[in-house]
């Protein structure tokens, strides 16, 4: 089944404790992206990747890191999480053609205490 | 600055009626794409419809159509014959960028409630 898989689905942690949210897709997509969704703000793009070893900042990259060492994986790293990073996070992927829709993972709900 | 505006935080529609969800955008790019996604209460994001900036015809996908007015920079979603299962949050999104790299901007969403 074609899918984007995020883990964990839920996480409660404390300020400053490094965490990684994994994202994997099995559709051989070139483009991958991370978003955060906050009430009243819609989805905001954090980072995106056009292909392996190619990443770029979205609109809200502060406090986040990403890497794209393999085509299928695009982990999101919070080196020192803070409470303002409490949010619902989505990973998405698509083929490189700009008219292709993104496929989204089921989301990861992060709570930073 | 590039921006997507959805001015209707919430809407109601009677079952079997048509409804239009508004979306306006602002970009200086000549090449861009416009997408609509649906997010039911279960949380997943579901792609509905796409319109490219150079497409001359309005996009249609089943009961969904996109009313694209380029000069007005609007890309409204029209849902015909609403069903109870259409109750959800709807997001308009724009893909912008050129030279092989692009990013996405989403609107704040419209929550649609279909009444029986």
Contacts of B110 in chain A (CB under 8 A): none
> pLDDT tier at B98 (50, 70, 90 boundaries)?
low
**What tens digit of pLDDT does each residue of B68-95 get?**
999 999 999 999 999 999 999 999 999 9
> pLDDT tier at B97 (50, 70, 90 boundaries)?
confident
Contacts of B105 in chain A (CB under 8 A): 45, 59
Residue A98 pLDDT: 81
Residue B2 pLDDT: 84
Residues A88, B95: C-beta atoms closer than 8 Å: no
With pLDDT > 90 as the criterion, what percentage of chain B qualifies? Answer: 84
- DSSP code at position B84: G
Which of A107, A111, A113, A112 is closest to A9 using CA atoms? A107
Per-residue pLDDT of chain A (113 residues; tens, 9 = 90+): 889 999 999 999 999 999 999 999 999 999 999 999 999 999 999 999 999 999 999 999 999 999 999 999 999 999 999 999 999 999 999 998 888 899 999 999 999 99
Contacts of A40 in chain B (CB under 8 A): 108
Residues A48, B104: C-beta atoms closer than 8 Å: yes
Separation of alpha carbons B68 and A8, rounded Å: 39
Compare CB distances from A45 to B37, B104, B107 and report the shortest one's residue: B104
Compare CB distances from A101 to B35, B102, B108 and report the shortest one's residue: B35
Select the residue from A101, A104, A110 to test the B interface by mutation, using most B Cβ atoms within 10 A. Answer: A101
Residues A58, B47: C-beta atoms closer than 8 Å: no
Residue A85 pLDDT: 98
Residue B49 pLDDT: 97
Q: Has residue B109 got a pLDDT over 80?
A: yes
Residue A15 pLDDT: 96
B85–A contact, CB cutoff 8 A: no
- Are A98 and B95 in contact by the 8 Å Cβ rule? The answer is yes
> pLDDT tier at B31 (50, 70, 90 boundaries)?
confident
Residue A73 pLDDT: 98
E strands present in B1-116: 3-5, 10-14, 19-21, 24-26, 32-39, 46-52, 60-61, 64-69, 74-79, 88-96, 103-106, 110-115
Q: Has residue B100 got a pLDDT over 70?
A: no
- Are A3 and A25 in contact by the 8 Å Cβ rule? The answer is yes
């Amino acid at each position: 089944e074609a899918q984007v898989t995020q883990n964990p689905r839920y996480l409660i942690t404390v300020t400053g404790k490094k965490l990684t949210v994994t994202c994997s897709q099995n559709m051989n997509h070139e483009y991958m992206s991370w978003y955060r969704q906050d009430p009243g703000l819609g989805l905001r793009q954090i980072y995106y990747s056009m292909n392996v070893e190619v990443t770029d900042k979205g609109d809200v990259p502060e406090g986040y890191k990403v890497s794209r060492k393999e085509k299928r994986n695009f982990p999101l790293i919070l080196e020192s999480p803070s409470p303002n990073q409490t949010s619902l996070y989505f990973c998405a992927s698509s083929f490189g053609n700009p008219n292709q829709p993104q496929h989204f993972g089921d989301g990861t709900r992060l709570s930073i205490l | 600055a590039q921006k997507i505006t959805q001015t209707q935080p919430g809407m109601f529609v009677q079952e079997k009626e048509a409804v239009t969800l508004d979306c306006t955008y602002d970009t200086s790019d000549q090449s861009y794409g416009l997408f609509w996604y649906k997010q039911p209460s279960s949380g997943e994001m579901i792609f509905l419809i796409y319109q490219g900036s150079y497409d001359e015809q309005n996009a249609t996908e089943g009961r969904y159509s996109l009313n694209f007015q380029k000069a007005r920079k609007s890309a409204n979603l029209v849902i015909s014959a609403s069903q109870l299962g259409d109750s959800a949050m709807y997001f308009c999104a724009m893909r912008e960028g050129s030279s092989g790299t692009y990013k996405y901007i989403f609107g704040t969403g419209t929550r649609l409630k279909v009444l029986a």
